[in-house]
Amino acid sequence: MMKGPRKDHEHHFKEQGGFEVDISMKKESIDDEFTEVPPADEMMVFLSQHIGPEAEPLVKKGDGVKYGEKIAGKEEQDHMMVPVHSPVTGTVQQIKDMPHPISGEKGRVVIIKTEESKKCPFYEPLGPASKQALLDRVREAGVVGLGGASFPTHVKLSEKGIDHLIINAKESDPNLACDVRLMIERPKEMIDGIKIMGKILGTEDITFATRTKEGETPRFEKLLKKSDINIARIRPNYSVGSERLLVKEVLDKEVPSGRFPPYVGAVVHNVATALAVSRAMEGESLVSRGLTLYSKKTGGKNLWVRMGTPIEHILRYLGASPSDFERIALGSIMMGPTVPNTSYPVLKATSGLTAFTSSERYPYKKQLACIRCGYCNTVCPVDIYPQQLMMAAKKGDVKRLKELHIEDCIDCGLCSYVCPSYIKLTPHLRRGQAHVKGDAVEDL
Ligand code: SF4
Ligand code: SF4
């Protein structure tokens, strides 16, 4: 965090109140081509990798499974359920309960012994098809939002009355570059996916929202222009990567508090999700993705990883040891929750891994007293009061949390980032939202 004289804008995002977010780590990663990480001998596949009810298992101990085969997700389950597929050909060794790395709640995990790592599409490619057939394939292939929210893609694509599709390639996270790499390495498939999304939603008004400058991804830009997809170059700011703020930025439409973009006729999909949609049409289930691993030891590495791969396997593949790191965040430096240990696997929503060594300053380790400086209020992009919300969340004061509009928090982490007392406000804000919803509230 910096306040004071302006820094080089190539390496900083500018936030409200004059704060700056260092993105030099992103810049370090952009030139690193994707490296494919082979699967581990034992893969750990969580059956909840999306927002919605956990997928019901379709396999049991001892069953043989093929690469891409559906292993969970019964047809009759809730519309919000997204199926889960096997990332390898192998045998189910066990189905067990483990605390989920994001929710902290107990979740089921299928442990698969890898026997064959070869990849081939599990489904038949889908040629020209009706909107419903396209939508069914998106769900059947297990596609969720890959920007980090893991909202079921088929649900978002089922919205009616949509005039605008916005593709979010803002990639705000300061240490991730995997979306830009996809734009450089797989432009055609991504454009195909975007067009399919537009077709399902019934709109030709598509805007590609990107942080990149003209000429940074030339092949991709050429294809966008050829496909009549608008390009919106978004100012260098961290928080406008969030859906509602992006809609305001691109369409100048305010999404009211408690509502979502379809309320104003818009849908926002992440750029990596477009690639997953395109692959689904070719018959591939969503069992792998691109992510950026960042640590001072390894630098920024763009990796192609199968879901279910334990983090320790990835570290060893890169020549590092899990014991080199004190803390690993499943996601970006700003938003990623800390994993309990490195045996935890990559999920569909894992766009990054951030590893900290014990010699690095871990700002939230020693929290000091609040000095009421107000920095957290100044930087908050949705103009709520993080410090007061934290106090209300600590007391479980639902009335106060509602008065202070806890529902508007976009979980961006900026308040924690700027706090001079190293107070980690965001976990309290998440607890506050859980209090309001009446959900189970985790201890901190
Ligand atoms: S929580 Fe941190 S940033 Fe907010 S007022 Fe207190 S010391 Fe300042
Ligand atoms: S995490 Fe929530 S409260 Fe904190 S700055 Fe972001 S939106 Fe505001």
- Which parts of 94-177 fold into alpha helices (H)? 131-140, 153-156
Task: Write the pLDDT tens digit of every residue in 252-262.
Answer: 999 988 889 99
Q: List the CATH number of the domain containing 308.
A: 3.10.20.600
Are 173 and 299 within one domain? no
Q: List the CATH number of the domain containing 232.
A: 3.40.50.11540
CB 251 within 8 A of CB 266: yes
Q: Is 369's C-beta closer than 6 angstroms to any atom of ligand 1? A: no
Query: Ligand 1 pocket test: which of 1, 19, 370 has the largest number of ligand atoms within 8 Å of its C-beta?
Result: 370
Are 190 and 222 within one domain? yes
pLDDT at 241: 81
Cα three-residue angle 335-353-97, rounded to 5 degrees = 85
Are 299 and 226 within one domain? no
Q: Rounded mean pLDDT of the chain?
A: 91
Residue 229 CB: number of other CB atoms within 10 A? 20
Residue 121 in domain = no
DSSP letters for 27-47: HHHTT---EEPPPPSEEEEES
Residue 219 in domain = yes
φ and ψ at 45, to 5 degrees?
Answer: -110, 110
Are 314 and 329 within one domain? yes
Q: List the CATH number of the domain containing 88.
A: 2.40.50.100
Residue nearest to atom 6 of ligand 2 (CA): 412
CB 290 within 8 A of CB 272: yes
- Which parts of 113-270 fold into alpha helices (H)? 131-140, 153-156, 178-185, 187-201, 218-226, 243-251
Task: Write the pLDDT tens digit of every residue in 17-72.
Answer: 889 888 888 888 899 999 999 999 999 999 999 988 999 999 999 999 999 999 99
The domain boundary, picked from 281, 302, 319, lies at 281
Closest atom of ligand 2 to 425 CA is 4
C-alpha distances in Å from residue 43, one per residue of 58, 82, 83, 183: 17, 19, 17, 29
- As a whole number, mean pLDDT of residues 369-381 equals 94
The domain boundary, picked from 356, 385, 410, lies at 356
Look up the domain containing 71 and give its range.
42-116
- As a whole number, mean pLDDT of residues 276-286 equals 97
pLDDT at 363: 56
Q: Is 165's C-beta closer than 6 angstroms to any atom of ligand 1? A: no
Of the candidates 257, 10, 280, the residue with the CA atom closest to the CA atom of residue 121: 280
CA distance 291 to 51: 20
CA distance 201 to 205: 10
Rounded percentage of the chain residues whose pLDDT exceeds 90: 68
Q: How many structural domains does the chain have?
A: 4
Per DSSP, what are the bridge partners of residue 345?
310
